[in-house]
Amino acid sequence: MDFKTKLQAAQDKNNSLLCVGLDPAMDRLPRPLKETDSPFFVFNKAIIDATADLVCAYKPNTAFYEARGAVGIEELKLTCDYIAENYPGIPVILDFKRGDIGHSNDKYTEFAFDYLGADAVTVQPYQGQAAMQSFLEHKDKGIIVLCRTSNDGSGEFQDLMVDGQKLYIRVAENIANKWNTYGNCLLVVGATYADELKAVRTVVGDDMSILVPGIGAQGGDLKATLEAGLNKVGKGLIINSSRAIIYASGSEDYADFARAKAIETVDAINKYR
């Protein structure tokens, strides 16, 4: 099953556009977990089990695992394998924002798709379509391209004018009209920029999904985000929340609190659909 089909099936089954970011940090884990052999995996497993009927995807950010070296990569692998084995209908989006020359990208795809078994990846477009073919040729995978990101200072380059258009609009046009030969491209647009999200939706039309970070801890306006980004059938968005859900409690009942926060978030999303 390709990523697009798998994502839509998960959205329909769980009536959800929510993606939970699995971004564990050692200093925020409950104390008993820190004493286990695989604290990140134990933490993730509990979050996954508590929310699997509420999400349309999970999104681990590799930085949190890479910072722990080999043991962190092992825990990332354990997490991806656990989802694939126990919740095979839920896609895994690997958030690693890679992009390099072709030979390097070949290795990135081996790591993401062959080793970890991810269903989709985030990538950056700066080096152009030709360099990104290693990703794009994986027709069954989702290739999610940075477009208008949620961070402060993102406009330094993304808002630059190029032939009368802002750069992020040019990126959206190129992805939709040139890169998306196999229908496996998506975009990243932050929830902190609802007007820009609306502009991107106008450019790419209703068929392309958009990954939206910035809800929750980053303060994105959920109502404005949905009004700006939903397609005509009330879909087309993957709304990511990480810290607001996985750290809803710092105590041993963290998974219960994560579930409650996920339910609250899904209900809020569906209210505006």
pLDDT in tens, 113-162: 999 999 999 999 999 999 999 999 999 999 999 999 988 888 899 989 99
DSSP class per residue in 126-159: TT-TGGGHHHHT-TTSEEEEEEE-SSTTTHHHHT
Distances (CA, A) of 78 to 43, 49, 86, 115, 167: 12, 14, 12, 11, 38
pLDDT band at 218 (very low <50, low <70, confident <90, very high): low
Q: What's residue 150's pLDDT?
A: 83
Other C-beta atoms closer than 10 Å to the C-beta of 118 total 27
Output 159 or 26, whichever has higher pLDDT.
Answer: 26
Q: What is the pTM of this model?
A: 0.96
Q: Which residues are the active-site residues?
A: 97
The answer to whether the CB of 4 falls within 8 A of the CB of 184 is: yes
Q: What's the pLDDT tens digit per position in 167-176?
A: 999 999 999 9
The answer to whether the CB of 241 falls within 8 A of the CB of 18 is: yes
Q: What is the chain's alpha carbon radius of gyration, rounded to the nearest angstrom?
A: 18
pLDDT band at 5 (very low <50, low <70, confident <90, very high): very high
Average pLDDT, the chain: 95
Instruction: Return the H-helix or E-strand segment holding 189.
Output: strand 185-189
Pairing state of beta strands 161-162 and 165-166? antiparallel
Predicted confidence (pLDDT) at residue 250 exceeds the cutoff of 90 = no
Q: What's residue 171's pLDDT?
A: 97
In one-letter notation, the amino acid at residue 203 is V
pLDDT band at 191 (very low <50, low <70, confident <90, very high): confident
Predicted confidence (pLDDT) at residue 201 exceeds the cutoff of 60 = yes
Q: What's residue 220's pLDDT?
A: 67
Question: How many domains does the chain contain in total?
Answer: 1
Nearest to 265 by CA among 207, 233, 226: 226
pLDDT band at 216 (very low <50, low <70, confident <90, very high): low
- Domain with 159, as residue range(s), is 3-271
Q: What's residue 217's pLDDT?
A: 56
Q: What is the mean pLDDT of residues 57-82?
A: 98
- CATH code where residue 224 lies: 3.20.20.70
